[in-house]
């Protein structure tokens, strides 16, 4: 294995976990976080070899790969800041859960850019939550375009393979449509469940419901109580694809309500048999 010099900007759950893996693999890792405490934690946890609060410090190193692991709204501003500082041989990639709006703009700023999205996470956030093995056997989407340099694809593929992830290649827009269905839509569905209960159940029923809620409610409501900033960013950056899935979802829900209103029990039975079967195709990973 050829060791690379790797930069990681943003040392949260994803950035920190990438750092842990790359340090273990024998790469040299430079981390940047705005928070001095996060820098200290990243060093002490061996998620980085060097840490700095100053993005400009990366200019001093001849990096081959830089992972931008900031919140979605900061990805493009960060790439712009990196562009005036980095050695021109560096490839930049990101880990955002939306790709088209980032990839198109990023390629304008830095021609050696390749979009990425590791489909991994936990309920926790921050460098404290970073763990080895987070990406093992998980999908890692990379979205090269016609103008992506071969070297960028090769470098990222090499690192993704070392993480033990399942590499998935697709177009940025394809990625965004797929994650609208399986990631962004569930957040909105789930949040609406919590909101409907909290706002519309009468006080006595709500208190009893809170007492009785168990695994069914817990699972269905989980992603609706995730990081609000991330939820807003998903909606902002993947608005069109998300609205399309929400519209289909409304129709699907209306169908089902109609069956219940009209007491079409055989149809409802058929629908629930079908969903039981269809879900299995989503359970590969």
Where in 122-181 is the site for a copy of itself (CB under 8 A)?
138-139, 141, 168, 170, 174-175, 177-179, 181
Question: In the complex with a copy of itself, which residue's Cβ is closer, 60 or 272?
Answer: 272
Geometric angle at alpha carbon 134, from 165 and 114, rounded to 5°:
50
209 forms part of the interface with a copy of itself (CB under 8 A): yes
14 forms part of the interface with a copy of itself (CB under 8 A): no
Which residues inside 86-125 make contact with a copy of itself, applying CB under 8 A? 119-121
Count of residues that bind a copy of itself according to CB under 8 A: 97
**Of the candidate residues 146, 155, 226, 237, the single one contacting a copy of itself (CB under 8 A):** 226
End-to-end, the C-alpha distance of the chain in Å comes to 28
Q: How many residues does the chain have?
A: 285
| Shortest distance in whole angstroms from residue 6 CB to a copy of itself | 25
Using the rule CB under 8 A, give the single segment among 8-16, 52-60, 128-136, 197-205 that binds a copy of itself.
Answer: 197-205
74 forms part of the interface with a copy of itself (CB under 8 A): no
Is 52:39 a contact under the CB 8 Å cutoff? yes
* Edge-to-edge order in the sheet of strand 28-32: 50-52, 28-32, 5-9, 65-68, 91-94, 113-118, 139-143, 166-169
d(CA 64, CA 75) in angstroms, rounded, equals 19
d(CA 18, CA 206) in angstroms, rounded, equals 42
| Shortest distance in whole angstroms from residue 126 CB to a copy of itself | 16
- State how beta strands 113-118 and 139-143 pair: antiparallel
59 forms part of the interface with a copy of itself (CB under 8 A): no
Question: In the complex with a copy of itself, which residue's Cβ is closer, 2 or 279?
Answer: 279
**Of the candidate residues 44, 128, 158, 250, the single one contacting a copy of itself (CB under 8 A):** 250
Q: Which long-range contacts (CB under 8 A, 24 or more apart) does 119-126 make?
A: 119/285, 120/14, 120/17, 120/165, 121/13, 121/14, 122/13, 123/222, 124/13, 125/12, 125/13, 125/227, 126/12, 126/13, 126/16, 126/38
Using the rule CB under 8 A, give the single segment among 45-53, 74-82, 124-132, 182-190 that binds a copy of itself.
Answer: 182-190
203 forms part of the interface with a copy of itself (CB under 8 A): no
243 forms part of the interface with a copy of itself (CB under 8 A): yes
| Shortest distance in whole angstroms from residue 51 CB to a copy of itself | 29
Using the rule CB under 8 A, give the single segment among 22-30, 40-48, 144-152, 237-245 that binds a copy of itself.
Answer: 237-245
d(CA 204, CA 190) in angstroms, rounded, equals 23
């Amino acid at each position: 294995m050829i060791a690379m010099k790797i930069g990681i900007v943003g040392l949260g759950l994803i950035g920190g976990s990438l750092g842990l893996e790359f340090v273990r693999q024998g790469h040299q890792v430079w981390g940047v976080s705005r928070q001095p405490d996060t820098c200290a934690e990243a060093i002490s946890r061996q998620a980085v070899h060097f840490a700095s609060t100053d993005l400009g410090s990366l200019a001093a190193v001849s990096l081959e790969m830089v992972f931008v692991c900031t919140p979605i709204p900061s990805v493009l501003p960060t790439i712009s800041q990196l562009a005036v500082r980095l050695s021109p041989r560096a490839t930049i990639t990101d880990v955002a859960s939306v790709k088209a709006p980032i990839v198109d703009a990023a390629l304008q700023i830095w021609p050696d850019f390749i979009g990425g999205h590791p489909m991994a996470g936990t309920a926790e956030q921050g460098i404290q939550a970073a763990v080895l093995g987070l990406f093992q056997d998980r999908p890692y989407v990379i979205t090269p375009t016609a103008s992506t340099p071969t070297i960028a694809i090769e470098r990222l593929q090499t690192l993704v393979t070392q993480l033990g992830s399942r590499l998935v290649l697709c177009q940025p827009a394809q990625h965004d449509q797929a994650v609208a269905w399986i990631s962004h839509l569930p957040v909105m569905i789930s949040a609406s469940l919590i909101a409907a209960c909290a706002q519309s159940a009468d006080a006595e029923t709500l208190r009893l419901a809170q007492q009785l809620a168990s695994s069914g409610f817990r699972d269905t409501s989980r992603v609706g109580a995730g990081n609000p900033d991330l939820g807003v960013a998903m909606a902002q950056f993947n608005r069109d694809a998300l609205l399309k899935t929400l519209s289909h979802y409304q129709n699907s829900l209306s169908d089902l309500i109609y069956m219940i209103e009209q007491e079409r029990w055989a149809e409802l039975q058929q629908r629930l048999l079908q969903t039981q079967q269809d879900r299995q195709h989503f359970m590969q990973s």
